[in-house]
Structure 1
Amino acid sequence: MPSSSTIPPTVWPARGHHTGADAADVLRHTLKLRKESGTLDDFRELPGSETPGESVFEARWQVPGPVTVRARLALADGGRWTLVAEAEGPWDLRWPSPATMFWPEDDDSWAHEFGTGLSLAAINPLPSDERDLRRALRSAAQDAWTVHVVVHEAMTTDERGHRPLAAALPPGLRHRVVEHRAAPQQLRPLNWALRDTGLEVPRGGAVVLPGDPAPAGHTADEFTVRTVFLDGSEPAELITAVTRFAALPRPLPDGAEAALTALRDDWRLLTQEEELDRERRLVAMYADALDAMTKSRDLYREAAESAHEALAVYRETYGDLPEPGRPAEPAASPLRQLTQTFGRLRIGARRPDGDDGTPTDGTGGA
């Protein structure tokens, strides 16, 4: 289930699937080239991930401001990757896509959707089979990691109409959007498949799917575009709708919170200043721990001294301690001894006869 927390405005989350071979080598090669060209300040591959079969890469770079961006990419067996980047300030969609810092831009074998394998860079035609179409849209409607856009072609388009939306999006939205394209005859089954979401694609228009759960402030009309001109021109209205949707306070998708926590808490790619600051914090932490231990030792010594004093007072009052395993006989207090003496006197006063219990007649005889 998605987290109840929302995506912080400083965070850029994405995930995908590298469908080619040697994904880890592609990452190493690309990161090395980016550092040599000065695009990256530095990068690092973490040794020995806690998750079996997973490789983790960190990278740091600057964006206009200047603002430092830190990113962490986890690559699992099979080529599936999860990337979380965080900037020192709110994310600007004009900044480069963090995915292009790790992956090559001239090869889109890595730019595929995590679960379905759909392209993050090209148009994805909807399946012609209605059952497959419903299955594809159901999966898209439930995805919270990626923004899914459904575009309907009012008529069969030429080459100009096959320009993907990703090419016109701001850099910060690329590799986070999946474009589904419906053929002219698919309008009716398309809207039939979307009936449970409360959405409807206009003829020749488009709609942005809300994901599950839908972000606060989402309304179907606000993210429905009545007409999309597929003539090679920039679909400005659709780009605006996608940009507005991305700006909504969206919930952190399933798995993103753990990835963000790992980025913040397990970050290893430190600058010299950060190393010094970390060492200072460690020294301060050790000093606090030593101070707490010293205080605990003093408190223990005071408690021991108090116990010895109490033992000495006990011995002065009651004598030595009883032997181990033998119950201590409670010492009689002065008040208790006086009470016992009065008790004996009262018993003697109630006995006028002799000590042996034989009555006397005053003459000494029986």
Structure 2
Amino acid sequence: MAKNSTSSTTVPDTAWLGRGRHLGPEAERDVRRNLIALKAAGVIDGFLDLDPIEAARSTDLFPRDESADPGPSARRVFEARWGVADGVTVRAQLTTYEPESRRTEHEGVTWVLAAEAERAWEGSWPSPATVFWPDSDQVAWDHETVPGVRLRTTNHLPKDDGELRRLLRDCTRQSWFVHVVVHEAMTPDTPGRRPITAFLAPSLKHRVVEHRATPEQALIADFAMKRELGVGLPRGGAVVLPPTPQVPGYDAERFTVRDVFLDGTEPTELIEKIVEFASLPQPLPADAEQVLTRLRQGWHLLTPDEELVHARAMVTKYAKALEAMTASCDLYREAAESALAALAEATSGGDATGTPAPAAAKQDASPLKSLTKTLARFRGPNR
């Protein structure tokens, strides 16, 4: 596993992170079926299906951290390992969580996914999302944690100004994904309604959320975005939204496209802007550092070589512990012998010169005689 140090502010270039919601009835069943199918097809090398208690147990192969615990609301933890170009290994961990409440139909099952490669991530590699989730529209795993927003499709902006501004705030402050807003200069036909994310590389496809503003929303969307985010939306154009906190190197003009033709052809300039933005150091979301730590320090799916290394490490660890215990026992025995010798010397009796007292003196040491001698000391000379 990659040992790159994790920055407290940016996502490592070896990592792929995602978080969403599954609105279907059996989220874990969908994951399990997909992993079994990919293992049978030889797409992945192996996988594990763990309950949270098992997942909380460390293999001790890597340093243990309390943040590697998936938490009390975790339902299942899945691990998978597969190879990509040039023999690079990817390790990934997906955890499903109980929703905080089921008061609305939008709750669903929350999931977080962290994957890490042995070198910097490439967009042409398979998306970790479709290793765990089936890439099918019939399985509703691709919902954002922000209600009403979904991956792999176009999301039309709310018509109400208050709702629109609230959505922009939530998407830029809570989401782990890249958000793009496209304005439809005119109502597109069927090819034009195709999501622009379909033109992205596999690993980037499930990291981008596309929003659409209808032709009549040009002014209201532009006004709301300028007020909330400080970026404008050109009529018939598009812009990549800045997250909070700000991405170093982000400039609104740099990531704005003036013209996007929604005719079913690849919007080359917009795709280039998205790729460029995704290549910038991305701020690490508040909860993502714990998810990445869990992947690195709470890993269970070991290869035979890793199991051998682990076994040898455990043998060395226990041998050192036994050696320390033995040394401790020796020190304890020496200390006990010294204490016994001192005690024997202190209780052996004798005068100040060290001459042993006669045996008769020992026989005099009864409690009654000792009390009598003590009382005699208090008698005056005339008594």
- TM-score bracket, shorter-length normalisation: 0.7 to 0.9
The SS at the match of 1:15 is: strand
1:92 corresponding residue in structure 2: 122
| Rg larger for | 1
- Aligned ranges 1:116-155 → 2 under 5 Å: 116-155=147-186
Instruction: Please list the CA deviations of residues 218-251 of structure 1 after superposition, one character each: whole Å capped at 9, or x if unmatched.
Output: 2222211222121211111111111111111112
Q: Quote the residue 1:6 is aligned against.
A: 10
Residue 244 of structure 1 aligns with which residue? 276
Aligned with 1:178: secondary structure?
strand
- Aligned twin of 2:329: 297
RMSD: 2.4
Q: Which moved more, 1:245-254 or 1:299-308?
A: 299-308
Say which structure, 1 or 2, has more relative contact order (CA 8 Å, 6+ apart).
2
Across the two proteins, how many residue pairs are aligned to each other? 318
Structure-1-length-normalised TM-score:
0.80
TM superposition shift of 1:196: 3.2
The aligned residue for residue 205 of structure 2 is 174
| Other-structure match for 2:218 | 187
The letter for the 1-side match of 2:319 is: A
Where does the alignment leave 5 or more consecutive residues of structure 1 unmatched? 321-366
**Structure 1 residue aligned with 2:251, among 179, 195, 219?**
219
Matching residue within 78, 98, 102 for 2:132: 102
Shift of 1:103: 1.1
Q: Secondary structure at the match of 1:84?
A: strand
Map Cα deviations across residues 312-347 of structure 1 (whole Å, 9 max, x no partner).
898897989xxxxxxxxxxxxxxxxxxxxxxxxxxx
8 Å Cα contact 1:144-1:213 kept in structure 2: no
Unaligned runs of 5+ in 2: 1-6, 54-70, 99-107, 357-383
1:134/1:52 CA distance change after superposition, 3 Å = closer
In 2 relative to 1, CA 305–149 (structure 1 residues): closer, same or farther, beyond 3 Å?
same
How far, CA to CA, are the matches of 1:183 and 1:318 in structure 2?
Answer: 110
- Deviation of 1:143 (Å): 3.1
Quote how far apart the aligned CAs of 1:191 are.
2.0
Instruction: Give distance in 1, aligned partners of 2:345 and 2:127.
Output: 78
Mapped to 2, the partners of 1:62 and 1:117 lie a distance apart of 35
Post-superposition Cα deviations, 1:74-125, rounded to whole Å, max 9, x if no partner, equal 1123322111111111111100101111111123511111232411000001
> For 1:1-366, what aligned pairs fall within 5 Å after superposition?
4-49=8-53, 51-52=72-73, 54-77=75-98, 78-107=108-137, 108-194=139-225, 195-304=227-336
Q: Which amino acid aligns with 2:261?
A: F
Q: What CA deviation, in whole Å up to 9, does each residue of 1:242-262 have, x standing for no partner?
A: 111111111221221111111
Aligned residues with identical type, % of pairs? 52
Aligned-residue offset at 1:48? 4.2
In 1: Cα distance, 2:271 partner to 2:309 partner: 43
TM-score w.r.t. length of structure 2 = 0.77
CA distance in 1, matches of 2:342, 2:220: 89
Rounded to whole Å, the distance in 2 between the matches of 1:311 and 1:87 is 65
Shift of 1:4: 3.4
2: CA distance, partners of 1:26 / 1:318: 91
Change (3 A) 1:300 1:207: same
Distance 1:21 1:187 in 2: 38
Specify the SS of the correspondent of 1:14: strand
* Cα separation, 2, equivalents of 1:199 and 1:285: 57
